[in-house]
Copies of this chain bind each other. A is one copy, B any other.
Amino acid sequence: MLGRENIITAEEALDLVIRGLPERSIPSAAIPVYEALGRICADDVVAGEDLPPFPRSTVDGYAVHAADTFSASDTMPAYLNLAGEIFMGRPAGPDLPRSGAVKIPTGGMLPAGADAVVMFEHVQPLDDALIEVMKAAGPGENVIRRAEDVSRNEIILKQGHRMRPQDIGACAGLGITHIPAYRKPAVAIISTGDEIVPPETLPGPGQIRDINSYLLHGLVADEGCVPVRRGIFRDDYREIRKVIEESMHESDVILLSGGTSVGTKDMIAGIILDIGKPGLLFHGVSLKPGKPLIGGIVEGIPLFGLPGHPAAVEVCFDLFIRPVLGRLAGRKDRLERMREPVVAARLSKNIASTPGREEHIRVIVEERDDGLWAIPVISKSGLIATLVRTDGTVVVPLHTSGIQQGDKVEVRLFR
């Protein structure tokens, strides 16, 4: 059995889990595009038609044969025969004869033959039948060609893409009313601990309410996954093993929270070892808070035994569970890390840290006259107050012994 002495870095631990994830992807189904916000494309989304399906004008003006305006100028206008008017949402009508022009609105459909549009401001109508064009138009000028925007069979959204509002709009514009989307990963949340009672219960002497199930519920939902709270279980090998095995049938990830004591941690590690292959991957990480984290994979399902302190749960979720969920969800987002909100600030007081351990310090961000400051909130006790009062974290890297007051730091803001 991997003992508690096998402590590895956060990077190594994540790597072990990611490499152990199964190749197979989560099932998918077609969903209505207007419900697809945040969902992940399970396949490439391909245009079924050209867009625009016909050449359109990009301005209000007159559709013409460009060649008929060749060398037209203020002093030497071209004279064209007014051959009618095109209306929005209507067919363009008959082909445009040579030396002809038709009035056209922005977005209007060009008649066959026309290959350019002259703007109103460069045209002088002489009477109902004749106009003066004071400016030469090149072929294609003020026109969107058929399929210039999107061609039939073109991939518009790649497999793994996360649907944004503009992607929903784009699909609607191409007549794509449904897209193939991966099912949202389901995450079982199992609370353990003889001392844990549900929030609606008044804790007896020595008891404490379940914070972590609710924190994890929120974190999982915020990732676009489905939280499944399984309840609170006693620190008992058989009870916990039973709920893990049941959860494996209906969940993609299993999170165990609580069990602050060394004995309980060892028991959970033991269950992961006993229950199947490959089993336990690591037991302890050189991370603060978060050192007691346990990670394993059984039959392709990642299991995490989380530390008891809510602040440690948040750090472990951020570093380990979030990337695992992204991978299982099928997300391929090359800018994902850039979208994490980070601000530069100066540290308001010295932070000491032990080299060989990555430390995550919760801070309040304060706007002062001389810029942003990060105020570390370090509390032995802070179960609740530190949780709700802080705005983000500052990371003291693995091989650093601390950060000095006034030093520039990056604050990773909570979302």
Contacts and interface: CB of A to CB of B under 8 A. Distances in A.
Nearest to A106: B260
A186 B383 CA distance: 36
A90 B209 CA distance: 14
List the number of copies, as a whole number: 2
Interface in A62-81: none
Main secondary structure of the interface of A (DSSP, over half): loop
Given A88-B195, A89-B194, A341-B338, A381 B166 contact: no
Given A88-B261, A414-B166, A173 B205 contact: no
Q: Which 9 A-B pairs have the closest CB atoms?
A: A165-B218, A169-B215, A89-B195, A91-B205, A172-B214, A144-B381, A173-B211, A172-B199, A168-B218
Interface of A: 33-34, 37, 51-54, 58, 60, 86-92, 105-109, 144-145, 148-150, 156-157, 163-177, 193-196, 199-219, 221-222, 229, 260-262, 308, 310, 314, 334-335, 338-341, 343, 365, 367, 379-385, 387-388, 391, 413-415
12 contacts: A33-B199, A33-B214, A87-B206, A88-B261, A108-B206, A145-B381, A165-B215, A165-B314, A166-B387, A168-B214, A172-B199, A175-B209
Given A89-B206, A173-B383, A177-B199, 10 more contacts: A33-B214, A37-B221, A53-B203, A54-B206, A88-B260, A88-B261, A156-B385, A165-B221, A170-B211, A171-B199
